Amino acid sequence: MKEILAVAGSIIVAVSFIPYLIDTVRHKIKPRIASWMTWSLVTGISTVAALAAQAYVSALLTGSATLVELAVLALALRNGDRTYGWVDGASQAISTIGIVAWLFSKDPAAAILFGIMADFFGAVPTYYHGWIAPHEEQWQSFVLTGVGSLLTVFAVTTHNFSNLAFPVYFSITATAIGADIFFRQKVVKPIPEGS
């Protein structure tokens, strides 16, 4: 049963961003390149680390996320929001510090915390973008990623920090970004095209 939950969670994460990819191609949304670049790097490293730690459920989740993030990044480089403001720069600088600390950490728990910190600060440009321009983002993909990540939490057989940290973090963060975009779309009027 737990294997089914792990696979289902990872499939939901991977499939949830198909509409996001389509909307990016159609120029309906504008992914923040800084976030997707940071996320793909962090989850890629997380996947390798999880495999090395034999945390296969986490590796399945982060591996699925990495593939999706690389696809979004590729499309964002072509069709996304190429502006690079202070939020992007500050969040990437802090994420880079987290990634470097993570790579040099000898303590596995500290390494995981640094990875989560790097990923969190990588999320800031998208969270901020969802706040100021919510109609340039899509909430459904993030919420579904939160659900898929939550299924992965329930699939973990060995309940320890290494196995649970990233799935719990992904579930909370993705859902929070999706909720931010959803509620902001309700209160912020879309900017008419050509304005």
In a domain, 80, yes or no: yes
CB 177 within 8 A of CB 141: no
Distance between CA atoms of 11 and 64, rounded to whole angstroms? 7
Q: Residue 31 sits in which domain range?
A: 2-187
In a domain, 195, yes or no: no
For 80-107, give the DSSP string: SB----HHHHHHHHHHHHHHHHHHH-SS
Full-model pTM: 0.86
Closest CA to 190 of 127, 134, 140: 134
In a domain, 149, yes or no: yes
Q: Per the structure, how many domains does the chain have?
A: 1
pLDDT tens for the chain, residues 1 to 195: 888 888 888 888 889 889 999 999 999 999 999 899 998 988 888 888 778 777 787 788 888 889 999 999 999 898 867 788 888 888 888 888 888 887 788 777 787 788 888 889 999 999 999 999 999 999 999 999 999 989 988 988 888 887 788 889 989 999 999 999 999 999 998 876 655
Which residue(s) pair with 32 in the sheet?
A: 81
In a domain, 158, yes or no: yes
Q: What is the residue whose two structure tokens read 């190429």?
A: 82
In a domain, 194, yes or no: no
In a domain, 120, yes or no: yes
In a domain, 177, yes or no: yes
